[in-house]
């Protein structure tokens, strides 16, 4: 399996490249704006072990591990909790844990490490190395670019000047549609929901702190 990193200047079409991979093939696609509801307690997320997060011992030592919220803003209301970089790592680790029991997935990640500090690069590298043993991973990044390019099997460079061509590794002028087909290899994640998942969904979406009724109100 492979790790492919897609890079390019701002406005060069990196996210568009991922969108087109998603259109051409079923995959697990985590977009830049995907996040968890800010009022969720991290410890309440089902089938997730927060102890694996590299910063979690901070909240254990402060005795906040049972109460800390995901944090962030919803409907203009800010809720204190994890920092932006911590939330990115939380989502990345959630993907890692949920996909660990499956094989041959295509996992597409758009800016998964935005705002994550250099302190956590070893954790990121370790997780990606584990994931690519079982899955094909395609990610766009503007952060920790050199580290990710060095460890990647392939680097795709997109350009705003000519969007019909891309550069793959040292090969210039690769047809973009051919590159899309080459990247679109792998299966889609499947989730077998249970009563615990249903309860979590209802607790979250019907929460008075920001669920459907909270936002509507």
CA-wise closest residue to 34 among 96, 145, 141, 110: 110
Looking at 105-119, 146-160, 192-206, which range is the least confident one?
192-206
Nearby residues of 166 by Cβ (< 8 Å), 6 or more positions away: 17, 156, 157, 158, 159, 174, 176, 179
CB 166 within 8 A of CB 13: no
Q: How far apart are CA 105 and CA 134, in angstroms?
A: 8
Do the bridges between strand 77-79 and strand 72-74 make them parallel or antiparallel, or are there none, so unpaired?
antiparallel
For residues 206-215, average pLDDT: 55
CB 124 within 8 A of CB 90: no
When computed from its CA atoms, the radius of gyration of the chain, rounded to whole angstroms, is: 18
Question: pLDDT at position 169, please?
Answer: 95
User: Of all helices (H) and strands (E), which one includes residue 174?
Assistant: strand 171-175
* pTM exceeds 0.75 for this model: yes
The one-character DSSP state at 94 is: H
Q: How far apart are CA 202 and CA 184, in angstroms?
A: 34
**Mind listing the pLDDT tens digit for each residue in 145-175?**
999 999 999 999 999 999 999 999 999 999 9
Indicate whether 213 pLDDT > 70: no
Three-class SS of residue 41? strand
Question: pLDDT at position 198, please?
Answer: 64
């Amino acid at each position: 399996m492979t790790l492919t990193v897609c890079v390019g200047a701002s406005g060069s079409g990196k996210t568009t490249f991922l969108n087109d991979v998603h259109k051409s093939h079923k995959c697990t696609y985590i977009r830049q704006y995907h996040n968890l509801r800010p009022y969720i307690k991290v410890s309440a997320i089902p089938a997730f072990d927060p102890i694996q997060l590299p910063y979690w011992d901070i909240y254990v030592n402060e005795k906040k591990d049972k109460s800390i919220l995901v944090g962030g803003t919803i409907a203009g209301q800010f809720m204190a909790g994890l920092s932006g970089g911590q939330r990115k790592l939380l989502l990345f680790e959630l993907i890692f844990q949920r996909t660990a029991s499956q094989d041959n997935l295509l996992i597409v990640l758009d800016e998964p490490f935005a705002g994550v500090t250099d302190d956590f690069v070893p954790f990121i590298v370790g997780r990606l190395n584990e994931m690519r043993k079982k899955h094909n991973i395609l990610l766009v990044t503007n952060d920790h670019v050199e580290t990710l390019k060095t460890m990647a099997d392939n680097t795709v460079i997109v350009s705003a000047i000519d969007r019909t061509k891309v550069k793959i590794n040292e090969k210039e002028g690769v047809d973009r549609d051919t590159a899309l087909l080459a990247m679109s290899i792998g299966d889609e994640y499947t989730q077998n929901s249970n009563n615990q998942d249903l309860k979590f969904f209802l607790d979250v979406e019907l929460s008075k702190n920001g669920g459907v009724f909270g936002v509507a109100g």
